[in-house]
Amino acid sequence: MSKDDDLLTVGLVSVSDRASSGVYQDQGIPALQDWLSAALKTPVAFETRLIPDEQPVIEATLIELCDSAGCDLVLTTGGTGPAPRDVTPDATAAVAHKLMPGFGEQMRQISLRFVPTAILSRQTGAIRGRTLILNLPGQPKSIRETLEGVKDADGTQIVPGIFAAVPYCIDLIGGPYIETDEAVVKAFRPKSAIRPPRA
């Protein structure tokens, strides 16, 4: 599947039995779209999926987004706790070619600033082919904090968010060069990997 080299394709997957069956409206995908639209200067296209907490369905959805839809980045929301039906990290690990545990470690560091139960989260990161998959929390406020990090009242970063590392990771696995709005999140790259800003 050919696509514009500059276009970032992001898969957004909300894993929820109740939202996928219409019991309540999904908040995860709109929260992700809003944050990414504010954070990215790179052109972006979204592939959205709202699915139940069923491991075979999650695995098939991740494979489709990575292998067929050509996503550079897939963000899941929901299903990362210890409850029996929380199987998003298990599905992610099952389809992964490489695990990226540092993403989960940092997500828990961020969430521990707010709630001691953050240690119950099993969020993780993984790579399948040329796609980075990240399991995010389910609540819009937690999604933003996880991606952006924690700042003090003056706006100084206390704990870095995970998205600062995402552009360089995608560089390394062969994806498009991602530029961010530094007022939202500053992408970190080694000096040798930084390109001049696009005109």
Annotated domain spans of the chain: 8-193
3-state secondary structure of 13: strand
This prediction's pTM: 0.95
Pick the CATH number of 8-193 from 3.40.50.360, 3.40.190.10, 3.40.980.10, 3.30.365.10: 3.40.980.10
The reported pLDDT for the residue numbered 156 is 85
CA distance 41 to 185: 11
| pLDDT tens-digit series, residues 29-79 | 999 999 999 999 999 999 999 999 999 999 999 999 999 999 999 999 999
Contact 53, 17 (CB under 8 A): yes
